[in-house]
A and B are shown apart, each in its own frame.
Chain A
């Protein structure tokens, strides 16, 4: 037996390194190039329309050959997404998109692979595949549309529904404790974790770009409103009179704050390690704790995890932005490197003679 070796993959590289880009002289792609001829069939007012438009408008920015982009989805309202994009796409089965995308991304380095999923698809039936994709760090981008409800099956509580939420399947209130998708992803040691609001297009686009260019699994949770079964779930975050006081905008290298000018609060870490928002004026002295400066590149995910726990079902303080963005060897690069190393050590792809040797093995005998 040969000794197992780890493969040195060198410096961090772009998630799109191996995906063919358009030549410089090619005309600029537009949203229309990414719009399929299929009629979009979400309910009127569905947040998915906004995300679709954002993605269709953003994809040209990547400058990739359209035929090298693949969207894979599971089941649910969000999972109809691939049909509306004029790229390659697969609408698969409930919860399994990350597994299918793992096979595709690992066997095809030249593709930009995207997974579109929802809170039920990704966190309930597909929870296992999600955490394993994140821990493996397969080069793909997962867009998790979170509307805290099952929409396509017509209104049952989901793994992100609030405790006490009244739905068709919880007529006197759900007793299920919800997942925080960002905490879950960080717990699975995801290398890129972000949260955005469907309604904040500029922020969403910026995060999508960073996610696409990240090498490894990028998870983007997108708060998305279901106008039929859970309307207004994120209303307090959309309401202009409240959002400033509730949304914590994470900016790398900056102190973590919330609230408008004059009412601003600053996040500090107290002696016990607990994080707490205190008035800006109080924070200046440093006596009430050290000001938390956001650093998504920290190798240790503890601070990012703590930030994710600022969130609560009441949405008093909801962090938005990129929680974590670190470089770690990706599963697909490592898998391909092992195969490539074996092939090149042997002097190139297997010939008929190599196959003959394999079929014969070590112990043969000849008759006649």
Chain B
């Protein structure tokens, strides 16, 4: 055994950074899984370019994965890394600005060649020219040590051996932070089972990395981050896209109807299509359509037939689907539109996060065309939000927007897996018999005779005898659903459709204010929950009261929202757009809002939001 010391830490933020081809996302994923298994609370932030392989060694090609883990509850992926693993000069240069003084940097010196340094504009090698003097640097010849460790694999090419360097890095970090590697070993066995040579090489590189940490004098100590105290339960680590997929499947299961997905691939939503395509065993049907419009058309056709139709996309796809969403509003059929928001406008920043599609979801259609909006607040919350979107869609026979975003989609956190029988009962009742009489006194079916309480129209699916009816995008007469151009009828139908959405039951806004007398409220929606909660924690720890509330339903708003807004001296709304929720709140409630916005493609930092809150508090004092 080595004589190295072991220190205990309460939290660590690690960022793995390298070239797009270096396997940094995989390395981060594996480190996350092993960390989750140890019982730490955690939050992750993958950050990668839109190009699959940008030119090697360049700044645009840098891909990174940040992980924040702790012995207490974690709200964000962390503002600044304590440890940076930089696999090449580009990765160092792109990330150095985010590091606080004293941070640890592990660099792969093999890649710090003259040519690679020149590619990113380093005249001298930053590892030994003093640039990194204020950091704790471990210069490791990661590539050559990996190749050397794999000397006993004569059939592998040098390139193949080099490719295992991410496993060496993972092994080293696993030693540093006392993570077990058994999960990764099992993962590698299932991934490379058919290629024993590659499997053995990866396992050897992993072990070599661990042993390097333990034996080299460069690493004086390793660290322990004890497990967090978490509520009793069975946990797994889950990304937003996975949680959302499972939420849809669970909702269909609890509704007792099939789930049908019509989708066209688009970043960052495609993983939902992938996940659902592999769940045929759960009765899930997925169709990859010829375009975004066909994707929603397929979903709507399936909904007409009695399934829960779902279409998944991002902002540009929503633009194409707008007309069909309007049709679904007019037909009053259930439909789920998942918008995993990314930076816009147009193609924008495909792999970066933003929440600038709120007004598009709210108003992006012709005519008066209200659509309910549900927005998850954390990766795991995507499960609950998806189930609630299905509840609203099937209860009120309406399309529903599920507004996730790139950060939620790819970020992950531990999730306490619910018991199936504790999930909401979403049983659907289809119309089965005539609900009216025609002028001759014969029983007939009125497709637009509404439920008095919900204002929902009956869902009568083809195959039900006696309920044959026609629906369409042309204005329909109240009750009978026949084509009607009557001015008063259109006015009535427009108001009925609006009243139906306005009357949807959504939970009241919950205020978090431990002091009970805060004068400032921070209100957010969507993925800003983590940074806002972390920032309010910082401010409260400094002795200042501040209240926090988070909207998961943006249309309709919770019934108590107006009252909440008027009971504070100041309301701060941070958003990753230019103030879209603020605009809605000002218009609806005539309340002044302090809008704080940022569209950098990245989540807010805790420090940034804590500053905004503190400044506002100072103004009031």
A104 to chain B, nearest CB (A): 4
Query: B296-304, B570-578, B583-591: which lies at the A interface?
Result: B296-304
- Are A99's CB and B250's CB within 8 A? no
B441 contacts partner chain A, Cβ-Cβ < 8 Å: no
C-alpha gap A186/B357 in the complex (Å):
41
Known: A106-B287, A355-B250. A91 touches B462 (CB 8 A): no
Q: Which of B225-246 contact A (CB under 8 A)?
A: 230-238, 246
Inter-chain CA distance A88–B418, complex, in Å, is: 40
Kindly state whether residue B289 has any CB partner on chain A within 8 Å. Answer: yes
Interface residue? A241 (CB, 8 A) = no
**Residues in A whose Cβ lies below 8 Å from that of B469:** 88-89
Give the CA-CA distance A131 to B539 in the complex, in Å: 60
Q: Mark A1-41 against chain B: 1 for CB-CB distance below 8 A, else 0.
A: 00000000000000000001000000000000000111000
Cα distance A238–B214 in the bound complex, in angstroms: 92
Set of chain A residues within 8 Å of B620, measured between Cβ atoms: none
B residues 514-538 near A (Cβ < 8 Å) are none
Indicate whether B546 reaches chain A with its CB closer than 8 angstroms. Answer: no
State which of A67, A92, A339, A364 has its C-beta within 8 Å of the C-beta of B235: A364
Contact with B along A285-305 (1 / 0, CB 8 A): 000000000000000000000
Distance between Cα atoms of A88 and B294 in the complex (Å): 21
Within 8 Å of chain B (Cβ to Cβ): is A274? no
Interface residues of B in 326-365 (CB under 8 A from A): 326-327, 331
- Of A103, A338, A346, A355, the residue contacting B298 (CB under 8 A) is A103
* Set of chain A residues within 8 Å of B293, measured between Cβ atoms: 96, 99, 129
Tell me, rounded to whole Å, the shortest Cβ–Cβ distance linking B385 to chain A: 15
Q: B305 at interface (Cβ–Cβ under 8 A)?
A: yes
Docked CA distance A103–B253 (Å): 20
B420: chain A residues at CB < 8 Å are: 352, 355-356, 359
- Assess whether B235 is in contact with A91, with CB atoms less than 8 Å apart: no
Chain A residues closer than 8 Å to B128, beta-carbon distance: none
Whether a CB of chain B sits under 8 angstroms from the CB of A82 is yes
Closest-CB distance, A58 to chain B (whole angstroms): 18
- Residues from chain B with Cβ under 8 Å of A365 in the complex: 36-37, 39, 234-236
Contact of A367 among B233, B301, B304 (CB under 8 A): B233
Taking a contact as CB atoms closer than 8 A, the residue among A36, A129, A355 that contacts B282 in the complex is A355
- CB of B281 within 8 A of CB of A342, answer yes
- A107–B297 Cα distance when bound, in Å, is 13
Contact assessment for A359 and B471 in the assembled complex, using a CB-CB cutoff below 8 Å:
no
Task: Specify which chain B residues have a CB less than 8 angstroms from the CB of A99 in the assembled complex.
Answer: 262, 289-290, 293-294, 297-298, 301
- On chain A, the number of residues with a Cβ less than 8 Å from chain B's Cβ atoms is 64
CB distance from A113 to the nearest CB of B (A): 9
Tell me whether B283 is interfacial, beta carbon within 8 Å. yes
Q: What CA separation (Å) do A99 and B262 show in the bound complex?
A: 10
- Please name the residue on chain A nearest to B38 by beta carbon: A365
How far, in angstroms, from A129 to B301 measured CA to CA in the complex?
14
Asked if residues A100 and B290 are in contact (CB atoms below 8 Å), the reply is no
Given contacts A67-B462, A68-B463, contact A102 B306 (CB under 8 A): no
Q: Is B419 a contact partner of A356 (Cβ separation < 8 A)?
A: yes
Contacts of B372 in A (CB 8 A): none
B103, CB-defined interface residue at 8 Å? no
Q: Does A273 contact B (CB under 8 A)?
A: no
Whole-angstrom distance between the alpha carbons of A367 and B39 in the complex? 8
| Chain A stretch 64-107: residues in CB contact (< 8 A) with chain B | 65-70, 72, 75, 82-83, 85-93, 96, 99-107
Chain B contacts for A345, CB-based, 8 A: 281
Residues of B within 8 A of A129 (CB): 290, 293-294, 297
CB of A363 within 8 Å of the partner chain = yes
Q: Is the C-beta of A111 less than 8 angstroms from some C-beta in chain B?
A: yes
Interface residue A366 (Cβ < 8 Å from any Cβ of B): yes
> CA separation between A38 and B250, bound complex, in Å?
42
What is the CA–CA distance of A338 and B282 in the complex, to the nearest angstrom? 12
CA of A338 to CA of B301, assembled, Å = 20
Query: Chain A residue with minimal CB distance to B194?
Result: A1
A346 to B233, CA, bound (A): 27
Contacts A67-B468, A91-B474, A366-B235 given; does A101 touch B463 at CB 8 Å: no
- The 22 sampled A-B contact pairs (Cβ below 8 Å) are A66-B465, A70-B304, A82-B470, A88-B470, A89-B469, A89-B472, A91-B474, A92-B473, A93-B324, A96-B293, A99-B297, A101-B301, A102-B294, A355-B250, A355-B253, A361-B236, A361-B238, A364-B235, A364-B417, A365-B236, A367-B231, A367-B232
Closest 3 CB pairs of A and B: A103-B301, A91-B472, A99-B297
Q: Which residues of B contact A (CB under 8 A)?
A: 33, 36-37, 39, 183, 230-238, 246, 249-250, 253, 258, 260, 262, 279-285, 287, 289-291, 293-294, 297-307, 309, 323-324, 326-327, 331, 417-421, 438, 462-474, 482-483
14 further A-B contacts with Cβ under 8 Å, apart from A363-B236, A365-B37, are A88-B468, A93-B323, A99-B301, A103-B300, A103-B302, A108-B306, A108-B462, A111-B463, A129-B293, A339-B285, A342-B281, A349-B283, A359-B246, A367-B230
